[in-house]
Structure 1
């Protein structure tokens, strides 16, 4: 469901209008909003400030109800209004207990996970889902109702289920975590790339001479001095085998040691956040990102927006051995931080996957020596591919919107190719800067075309007409514009 409505507001009167709009009228002078708005995030980008509001009704959040105000440095204001109408007389007293709602949600998630489990991934019955949070909320629109918003964890990752608080029926249940199918391995960025050797294999996580040679001594910057792998941009919150600790802040392990993956997570996340800040951004996931390392038995890693946690799996190649897996998942955390609730539509989800792949590849540029750059997750893919080069996906594919099939990872290849073409034309630094800047203007339920238009506009404002045309051409080649 898309309710995108953008309004450009004049400098002086417009600012006053928007200010009044958040208190009672919108920028276009519409009727007062009876449901309320709650400021949940303020972000600063290169072109201005961005204010994100959660729509509420009688103090409860309205599912997917948002309102955003983008204030440019030139004084122009852009409004994105994604509110849903809620009847004023809607009863917000729940008849169904939260424990009962959680049970219904977990049953629905478990049934879907068992039904959709790939035969070659699991030969046994999938474990039941468990719930981590239950909160009252409101669904707006023509079928407005009170619901329990339940988040559950299963073999699919993290799911959100909406359970009718009056009847107990499951209204909606979907996976909200951004994930990839089992990945693994990374040094800098991973052994396949650093050794330029497609013949390397995992050998069930054993130490190997070839992999020892691929290890690189690095400086771990921005540690907090606690003796753990915690710092300004990374927090290893939990990990298989326990949290790595060192009184001397020396974390040197061979890859068979589970703590090796913790070091990889810390180093590569710290590196990418330092790069983001060198681009000029001080408000793009500028926090200590929580990680759960090697705690998921399947060949899968995912970002959970409900807890702001990235979890890495250990099926096949341990996912956190491959920096491109780490960077991909961090891409999801970036977008969720910049645009609250990002990924509500299928195409927005595909943009998330495509951006994650692009972010993995662009971070590989400085260390790959040009080796098969468009190949995503070369090391992780050795555990489930036979063709060489080993790639989960590529950023130089030939897909266009004619090839959309409704699966976000597949459709993400359309978006990642467009971004890769932009980088090839503008250069890495300029491309990454404008791609991050454009993200601030995305709607949570944006389309390919909507996000492309935001990117073209960012290119025009940052680099001029010629760059904007280059970006436009890249999206036209994918039939996005």
Structure 2
């Protein structure tokens, strides 16, 4: 356990200890397992920052700081040392060259530094900490110095925030106006009030739309670049769709994280809005990239299309090669539609004009005549007996079941159940198998009453 405690100096002196973290008198002696790395001077104090060491080797994540008040000369300590125990040896069995070669094979970038270190914890390990420079910024790879195996690779880039203009989720839904049309990307086609200024979180410091959860790729000269990280374009500018994609994917991942999941497509998802002129979009599992087309309404102008395609990336991350059966492929399309709906719930009014069950109502203005304009709906009355053997059509059976789950248990609970269940789907699953898994997951997470509601949704579709 890491001990972090900030304690102001009291009238009586006490000793500093790992168990208490309590500080006392002016200029208390520092523990022996430290290396001074920085001294900083502020208006009120002098600040001494130390790295924790163990037998002369840095302890990853361990720190110690002493802040000495200039007036009173008394000290305040932040003790962030981490216990080191069970370390078998401080002599590596694997040579530095072998560790470097292992990292070079796994990380696409230039190796910058390698340091023999200690990974602390109940079963501490001697490791190599290898820093590589990549096109996504610096990453650190931890290699077991006893076995040569990679323990983990982690992003160490400092993150930044920016601002951007987006549609949330699209102008048809936000303005409740089904009469809007594309007009060849003209700014005049969409009123200014349809734009929303948003915070773009988790950016790296490159000046591009590249961050912890999304990275826009394509020819460098066509990528949005703002040194001040103000990406505030309108739809006539092709960079607007890049902002939409970055914002939509990042918001989805942050929502997933808030639900408690730390390993659901938790990566910088490659995405491009450049070079594909069809009125279509796709996720390619062989490259792990999402591509948005620019035919009709540019697909990335509609956040629900962004979230649909992201749904495929999510499932592929949870179950490699998911969707090898007809039912599996149908579930994939259905989940994408339902995920788009789930993400839109807090953003748009569920009305007769723009029902929440209507997906892609801005994108669909380019290819539908009836209103509301929908790519598809998640509230059809289709059942298993109505299947036609085509994944987009058959997927509406599954998405209706998920829609009913959402209606029965709410947004967060239904999202948590479905995401958790999908980890246990198989690449060639059937509707019935996936439904049984989802019901069992609901029971494990929420109990029998919730599981009964989830089961009822599948029974109503003829799936169970």
With normalisation by structure 2, the TM-score equals: 0.63
8 Å contact 1:290–1:310 — kept in the other structure? yes
Is residue 310 of structure 2 the alignment partner of residue 330 of structure 1? Answer: yes
Secondary structure of 2:271's match? strand
* Structure 2 partner of 1:396: 379
**Structure 1 255/230 Cα, relative in aligned 2: closer, same or farther at 3 Å?**
same
Deviation at 1:370, TM superposition (A): 2.2
Secondary structure of 1:453's match? helix
Distance of 1:240 and 1:264 partners within structure 2? 18
Is residue 167 of structure 2 the alignment partner of residue 187 of structure 1? Answer: yes
Which residue of 306, 311, 320 corresponds with 2:286? Answer: 306
CA deviations 1:163-190 (Å, max 9, x no partner) are xxxxxxxxxxxxxxxxxxxxxx971000
Which residue of 213, 224, 234 corresponds with 1:254? Answer: 234
* Structure 2 partner of 1:355: 335
8 Å contact 1:434–1:455 — kept in the other structure? yes
8 Å contact 2:180–2:189 — kept in the other structure? no
Which residue of 267, 278, 297 corresponds with 2:258? Answer: 278
8 Å contact 2:182–2:189 — kept in the other structure? no
* Structure 1 partner of 2:442: 459
Which residue of 270, 289, 301 corresponds with 1:321? Answer: 301
Distance of 2:459 and 2:292 partners within structure 1? 36
8 Å contact 2:309–2:336 — kept in the other structure? yes
Distance of 1:472 and 1:461 partners within structure 2? 13
* Structure 2 partner of 1:415: 398
**Structure 1 239/255 Cα, relative in aligned 2: closer, same or farther at 3 Å?**
farther
Where structure 2 has 5 or more consecutive residues not aligned to the other structure, the ranges are 1-164
Runs of 4+ in 1 over 6 A off after TM superposition: none
Which structure has the bigger radius of gyration? Answer: 2
**Structure 1 225/330 Cα, relative in aligned 2: closer, same or farther at 3 Å?**
same
Which residue of 370, 375, 378 corresponds with 2:350? Answer: 370
Deviation at 1:237, TM superposition (A): 1.1
Deviation at 1:241, TM superposition (A): 6.6
Distance of 1:469 and 1:219 partners within structure 2? 40
Secondary structure of 1:366's match? coil
Is residue 218 of structure 2 the alignment partner of residue 238 of structure 1? Answer: yes
8 Å contact 1:239–1:295 — kept in the other structure? no
8 Å contact 1:236–1:243 — kept in the other structure? yes
Is residue 369 of structure 2 the alignment partner of residue 386 of structure 1? Answer: yes
Distance of 2:290 and 2:220 partners within structure 1? 14
CA deviations 1:364-396 (Å, max 9, x no partner) are 000002241000000000000111100011000
Which residue of 448, 463, 470 corresponds with 2:453? Answer: 470
8 Å contact 2:270–2:289 — kept in the other structure? yes
Distance of 1:457 and 1:473 partners within structure 2? 13
**Structure 1 355/186 Cα, relative in aligned 2: closer, same or farther at 3 Å?**
farther
**Structure 1 368/326 Cα, relative in aligned 2: closer, same or farther at 3 Å?**
same
CA deviations 1:278-323 (Å, max 9, x no partner) are 0000000000000111321110000000000000000100000000
Distance of 1:382 and 1:342 partners within structure 2? 31
8 Å contact 2:181–2:366 — kept in the other structure? yes
Q: What is the correspondence of 1:65-464 to structure 2 with a 5 Å cutoff?
A: 187-208=167-188, 210-238=190-218, 242-371=222-351, 372-464=355-447
Secondary structure of 1:449's match? helix
Secondary structure of 2:306's match? helix
Distance of 1:433 and 1:456 partners within structure 2? 12
Deviation at 1:466, TM superposition (A): 1.1
Distance of 2:384 and 2:357 partners within structure 1? 20
Distance of 1:211 and 1:475 partners within structure 2? 41
Deviation at 1:417, TM superposition (A): 0.3
Deviation at 1:209, TM superposition (A): 6.3
Deviation at 1:240, TM superposition (A): 9.6
* Structure 1 partner of 2:103: none
8 Å contact 1:294–1:320 — kept in the other structure? no
CA deviations 1:2-25 (Å, max 9, x no partner) are xxxxxxxxxxxxxxxxxxxxxxxx
Q: What is the correspondence of 1:30-41 to structure 2 with a 5 Å cutoff?
A: none
- Please, what is the CA RMSD of the aligned residues? 1.4
Distance of 2:259 and 2:234 partners within structure 1? 33
The number of equivalent residue pairs is 297
Distance of 2:274 and 2:219 partners within structure 1? 6
CA deviations 1:82-137 (Å, max 9, x no partner) are xxxxxxxxxxxxxxxxxxxxxxxxxxxxxxxxxxxxxxxxxxxxxxxxxxxxxxxx
Secondary structure of 1:219's match? strand
With normalisation by structure 1, the TM-score equals: 0.61
CA deviations 1:212-232 (Å, max 9, x no partner) are 220111110000010000000
Distance of 1:436 and 1:278 partners within structure 2? 13
